[in-house]
Amino acid sequence: MKSAVTVSLVEAAHGGPFVFWDDLPAACASAERLGFDAIELFAPDPLTVPAATLKNLIDDHNLSLAAVGTGAGWVVRKLSLTSPDSKIRQEARDFIRSMIEYGGPFGAPAIIGSMQGRWSDGVSREQALRWLGEALIDLEQTAKGFGVPLIYEPLNRYETNLCRTLGEGVDLLRSTGCSQVKLLADLFHLFIEEANVADAVRAHGAAVGHVHFVDTNRRAVGFGHADFGPIMRALKEVGYSGYLSAEAFPLPDGEATAAQTIRAVRYWTQQ
Ligand code: LER
Ligand code: MN
């Protein structure tokens, strides 16, 4: 398993669960110094940091790009793949496609989390899941062009009413027939929604393509109260070899969160 740390450049997301903020060169320098394999980037759009600039930065710091988030489409532009308004649904798809095309040349998948939206306003759950499924089928084609998966993230009940567990995520993927859409196991969401996180990972591990590595209170692993032994054993059992990416609150600060995360990654991957 490989290590990654999140960097947010989205002003409107301040207060959110990202380790490093605003200063991408400084975040890359810290990530390299601490020994991370990669950064995961939460950017406003594909233009704020031109791809060439990003490439120079990560190359200079011996880092990879683990994934790109698409949540700015929701946070900044209020786009959603399940909006009742077809124009907004289309704009949401266009935005996500632009992020797939941004990360693709780096081998980095795009993550669909908050852009999935929620059903309401006269839209049934079935209808919303159909729209979401159609978008995954369409966007998977773009991802395939770069040889990268597309990552879909079940979220806890306070953030979506569509898919909240890995099992519900697997059901959605099955209904689409998509083979290159993988699930993001964000442990924070799973601690809220799963009866047993290790059992869920064991049952659905084949579908997991990315992990948000974080403790129960959304702080660095070890700064909360989960027992990571069973979860890490489950990830090993299912042969997970992707990223453990720290998407956590910078508490007490980003450096301490990143340092604790890399200690936890080393400890748990060597057990
Ligand atoms: C939001 O709670 C989250 O986990 C992000 O990864 C989704 O964009
Ligand atoms: Mn997440």
Digit-coded pLDDT (tens) for 24-48: 999 999 999 999 999 999 999 999 9
Mean pLDDT of 172-188: 98
Residue owning the nearest CA to atom 7 of ligand 1: 113
Which of these is catalytic: 140, 153, 159, 194? 153
Mean pLDDT, rounded, for 239-264: 98
Q: Give, using CA atoms, the residue closest to atom 5 of ligand 1.
A: 113
Q: Is 69 in the pocket of ligand 1 (CB under 6 A)?
A: yes
Q: Which of 114, 162, 211 to mutate to test the pocket of ligand 1 (most atoms within 8 A of CB)?
A: 114
Predicted confidence (pLDDT) at residue 121 exceeds the cutoff of 80: no
Q: What are the chain's domains? A: 2-269 (3.20.20.150)
- 175-181's contacts with Cβ under 8 Å and 24+ in sequence apart are 175/129, 175/133, 176/133, 176/136, 176/137, 176/140, 177/137, 178/136, 178/137, 178/140, 178/150, 180/140, 180/143, 180/144, 180/149, 180/150, 181/136, 181/140, 181/149, 181/150, 181/151, 181/152
Provide the mean pLDDT of the chain: 98
Which tens digits make up the pLDDT trace of 68-89?
A: 999 999 999 999 999 999 999 9
Mean of pLDDT values over 231-249: 98
